[in-house]
Amino acid sequence: MYVNSAYWNDSRIDFKDRKHPLFVGSCGTYRLLTRTKLPTHRPRGRVDFQLLYVAAGKGHFYFGGKEHLVPAGNMVLYRPREEQRYYYYGADQTEVYWVHFTGSSVTNILRGYGFRDDEHVIHSGTSLSYSQIFQQMIEELQKRRPHYEEACVCRLRLLLIMLSRLDETQTRHRTLHMAGQMNEAVRYFHANYMKEISMNAYAQQLGLSVSWFMRSFREYTGSSPAQYLISLRISAAQSLLETGNHNITEIAEMVGYDNPLYFSRLFRKQTGMSPSDFRRQLRAWNEEHEGGGE
């Protein structure tokens, strides 16, 4: 299982902050690779809020004792003292991002952005912008540069603003007329990212015009199909760099690149560092912070 997480003040104990209107306590991500099941059950919940983004695969969540299947393209919101019970399975290749936050005005802030008090599942679509915001919060908590706490809050607010701008009428329209095909495209890319994929051929296979497919995919995910595919490949490469002993050339081939130099350039552009530097930094961080989770 790939894990990357960070905690304010290096503490995994949940807490209630009353000094700030909004405060980020922790943030992280994980992908199930070889682990068959990852369960979480907090009968009494936590004292803070939690927002989870299902970026790939699906999760099995329970609300009021009833199971709800939440696929990629949705977020789940838990409030303080709510029972938290959910499961992820390796067969689904689930990828999840999460953030815990607290503060003196969180409830009013959420209401201001249009979130109902009884709302748990938020349809968001699958966008690389969401993943990038979570990754930025993780990095801020890890590096602790000046004003990092404020930077985390700003990014969380940006995420909430993006969700609030999803007009309900447009969301229903997309759900009925576009989400099914775009979700299928996302699943196809996740299953075949290591292969050479012709966007023209794939669109024709679905019986869609190439221009409509490209436009709809960008509208649904926030990126072009080509950009989305690159992100998947680099994400898979990050997992291989952490969990395996393959060299850079082997990893490049495993995620779909014949040219390791081109792969390294793309990796640096996406992550800000070379594959070798990423491997060294991640292993050093994992040695210092044993385990993971949200």
CATH of the domain at 244: 1.10.10.60
Name the pairing type of β-strands 74-78 and 121-123. Answer: antiparallel
The SS3 assignment for 185 reads helix
For residues 28 and 62, the answer to whether their CB atoms sit within 8 Å is no
Q: Are residues 71 and 31 part of one domain? A: yes
Q: Which residue would you say has higher pLDDT here, 263 or 129?
A: 263
Residue 293 located in a structural domain:
no
Model confidence at 291: pLDDT above 50? no
Q: Are residues 216 and 74 part of one domain? A: no
Return d(Cα 123, Cα 106) in angstroms, integer. Answer: 20
Structure tokens at 8: 């304010």
The segment with the largest mean pLDDT, out of 114-118, 174-178, 213-217, 220-224, is: 114-118
pLDDT of res. 141: 96
Q: What is the pLDDT of residues 1-13, one digit of tens each?
A: 778 899 999 999 9
pTM score, two decimals? 0.71
Return d(Cα 28, Cα 99) in angstroms, integer. Answer: 7
Q: Are residues 39 and 6 part of one domain? A: yes
Which one of 164, 188, 205 terminates a domain? 164
Residue 7 located in a structural domain:
yes
Return d(Cα 24, Cα 146) in angstroms, integer. Answer: 15
Q: Are residues 45 and 146 part of one domain? A: yes
Q: Which residue would you say has higher pLDDT here, 95 or 108?
A: 108
When divided into structural domains, the chain yields a total of 3
Percent of the chain clearing pLDDT 90 (strictly above): 56
Per-residue pLDDT band at 84 (split at 50, 70, 90): very high
Q: Are residues 46 and 141 part of one domain? A: yes
Residue 294 located in a structural domain:
no
For residues 228 and 238, the answer to whether their CB atoms sit within 8 Å is no
Which one of 202, 222, 242 terminates a domain? 222
Model confidence at 180: pLDDT above 80? no
Q: Are residues 207 and 89 part of one domain? A: no
Residue 184 located in a structural domain:
yes
Q: Name the residue range of residue 42's domain.
A: 2-164
pLDDT of res. 286: 61
Q: Are residues 132 and 74 part of one domain? A: yes
Q: Are residues 145 and 207 part of one domain? A: no
Q: What is the pLDDT of residues 27-61, one digit of tens each?
A: 999 888 777 899 999 999 999 999 999 988 889 99
Q: Are residues 239 and 138 part of one domain? A: no
> Which of 5-19, 83-97, 107-121, 183-197 shows the lowest mean pLDDT across its residues?
183-197
CATH of residue 95:
2.60.120.280
> Which of 130-134, 232-236, 277-281, 282-286 shows the lowest mean pLDDT across its residues?
282-286
Q: Are residues 183 and 119 part of one domain? A: no
For residues 29 and 56, the answer to whether their CB atoms sit within 8 Å is no
Mean pLDDT for the chain?
A: 87
pLDDT of res. 169: 44
CA distances from 235 to 31, 62, 74 (A): 10, 29, 19
Q: Are residues 155 and 13 part of one domain? A: yes
Mean pLDDT on 82-93: 90
Find, among 170, 164, 182, the residue nearest to 73 by Cα. Answer: 182
Q: Are residues 148 and 63 part of one domain? A: yes
Mean pLDDT on 72-86: 94
For residues 201 and 159, the answer to whether their CB atoms sit within 8 Å is no
